[in-house]
């Protein structure tokens, strides 16, 4: 053994994640563990949490419908065709273990709030069986309860759905365990089918281990980290907790949320210090916001990069690989899709910019639309530096508006525009003197 080598470093570890339940209480066609929290599937949260263990093997026991899902591509998959309880699923998972594995960690796929440190702490347990428990403040909750002996070691886990009297025990079962493989191989054949439910419970291993004098250990952790999601109500609760965690971390890094409870931030958002996020902002997937930007109320962002000191909103919608460069401004009711807005450019009001490049210093007037789709193909619009697009203009792609050009308000532009020129495309204005007087008189007489 290398001097100073720890038990955790020399033990060969495997993780078994239970993911085979039907999730009927979700009342959703989507498998339960694929429901997202902060934009990431619950199962992926668990897979990411256990990476801290650097396990030799990650085994997911799942249903036939998820057997070939992309999310499981880097795991060993075991199918539990008929869900017969956690004990049966654990037996299937153990059969898949590599021969050199000494220690197994058991978790459930519907616990997206797992804390990495709790998992890391579990790694260092030396007992044959270690279970994470939660100090419950509300004894009415339906968590199973961990019964300990006088020395504080777990001797059994009792399910409240079979015995309401155990709710006076204040230590709840988090559903996360560490087992030594030799003990598992000895005890798993002795698990019995519960006469009431017809299922086999992994929790019964604690009683078996205690009876056969295997060592057990209890580790306490925060109840919030082990919230199990079985309904859409609980999914909403998990989302609220995760949103609080994500935004708290951003605020500690220097991002200001004016009313954080009103905004949504995806798990992968990157936001620089000094940025201000106003109320009711949605920051979706693949959003990068640099320092000192401003995102105003009711804006919706996804797949976009906002560079430093840019301003977005209010009521702006950015999507589909948008780049807004330094000091650029996207304003009220402006939608930008698949476009680059260069430095100091502005689109302040009521416009759609799709599949376009907008040059440095350009100004997009209110009501401007880039017509990028003909029903079959999409085309590009290129707007040069310091271009002025008049209000209510329509730019029919493919089209190039060269540097310094002006587009007269109300124009429909179908051809390229030369540098520093004025393009006008509209009918000549006519005026009929006193027309309104005769028109009103006609209708007054008709309606009298």
How far is C-alpha 110 from the chain's CA centre?
14
| CA-to-CA dists, residue 188 to 143, 183, 202, 289, angstroms | 23, 8, 9, 51
Contact 387, 403 (CB under 8 A): yes
CA pair distance 382, 403, nearest whole angstrom:
10
Kindly tell me the number of DSSP H helices and DSSP E strands found in the chain.
8, 38
List the end-to-end C-alpha distance of the chain, in Å, as a whole number. Answer: 107
Catalytic residue among 69, 282, 349, 382: 349
| CA-to-CA dists, residue 225 to 109, 155, 221, 308, angstroms | 13, 23, 8, 35
DSSP helix/strand/coil, 437: helix
CA pair distance 191, 206, nearest whole angstrom:
11
Strands 76-79 and 57-62: parallel
Contact 354, 340 (CB under 8 A): no
Question: In sequence order, what are the residues at sequence separation of 6 or more whose Cβ sits closer than 8 angstroms to the Cβ of residue 354?
Answer: 335, 336, 337, 338, 339, 370, 372, 373, 378, 381
Residue 349 designated active-site: yes
Beta strands in 163-251 (DSSP E): 171-180, 216-221
DSSP helix/strand/coil, 3: coil
Cis omega before residue 225 (within 30°)?
no
CA atoms within 13 A on the CB side of 18: 26
| CA-to-CA dists, residue 439 to 16, 429, 432, 443, 447, angstroms | 82, 19, 11, 7, 13
Catalytic residue set: 349
């Amino acid at each position: 053994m290398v001097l100073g080598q720890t038990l955790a470093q020399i033990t060969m570890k495997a993780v078994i994640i239970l993911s085979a339940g039907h999730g009927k209480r979700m009342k959703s066609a989507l498998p339960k563990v694929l429901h997202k929290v902060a934009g990431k599937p619950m199962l992926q949260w668990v897979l990411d949490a256990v990476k801290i263990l650097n396990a030799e093997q990650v085994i997911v026991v799942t249903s036939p419908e998820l057997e070939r899902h992309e999310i499981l591509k880097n795991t060993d998959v075991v199918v539990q065709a008929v869900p017969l309880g956690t004990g049966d699923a654990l037996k299937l998972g153990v059969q898949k273990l590599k021969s050199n594995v000494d220690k197994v960690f058991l978790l459930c796929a519907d616990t997206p709030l797992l804390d990495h440190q709790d998992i890391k702490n579990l790694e260092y347990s030396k007992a044959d069986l270690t279970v994470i428990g939660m100090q419950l403040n509300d004894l009415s909750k339906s968590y199973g309860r961990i019964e300990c002996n006088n020395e504080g070691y777990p001797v059994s886990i009792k399910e409240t759905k079979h015995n309401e009297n155990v709710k006076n025990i204040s230590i709840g079962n988090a559903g996360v365990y560490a087992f030594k493989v030799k003990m598992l191989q000895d005890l798993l054949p002795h698990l019995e089918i519960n006469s009431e439910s017809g299922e086999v419970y992994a929790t019964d291993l604690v009683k078996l281990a205690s009876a056969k004098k295997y060592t057990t250990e209890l580790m306490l952790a925060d109840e919030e980290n082990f919230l199990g999601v079985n309904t859409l109500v609980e999914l909403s609760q998990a989302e609220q907790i995760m949103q609080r965690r994500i935004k708290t971390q951003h605020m500690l890094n220097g991002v200001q949320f004016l009313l954080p409870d009103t905004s949504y931030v995806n798990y992968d958002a990157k936001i620089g210090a000094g940025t201000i996020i106003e109320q009711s902002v949605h920051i979706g997937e693949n959003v990068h916001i640099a320092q000192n930007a401003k995102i105003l109320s009711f804006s919706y962002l996804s797949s976009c990069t906002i560079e430093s000191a840019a301003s977005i909103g209010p009521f702006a919608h950015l999507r589909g690989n948008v780049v807004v460069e330094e000091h650029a401004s996207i304003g009220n009711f402006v939608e930008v899709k698949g476009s680059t807005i260069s430095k100091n450019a502005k689109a302040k009001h009521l416009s759609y910019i799709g599949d376009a490049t907008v040059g440095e210093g350009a100004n997009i007037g209110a009501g401007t639309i880039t017509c990028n789709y003909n029903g079959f193909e999409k085309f590009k619009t290129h707007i040069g530096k310091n271009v002025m697009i008049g209000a209510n203009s329509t730019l029919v792609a493919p089209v190039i508006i060269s540097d310094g050009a002006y587009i007269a308000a109300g124009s429909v532009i179908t051809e390229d525009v030369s540098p520093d020129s004025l393009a006008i495309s509209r009918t000549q204005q006519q005026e009929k003197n006193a027309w309104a007087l005769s028109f009103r008189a006609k209708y007054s007489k008709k309606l009298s």
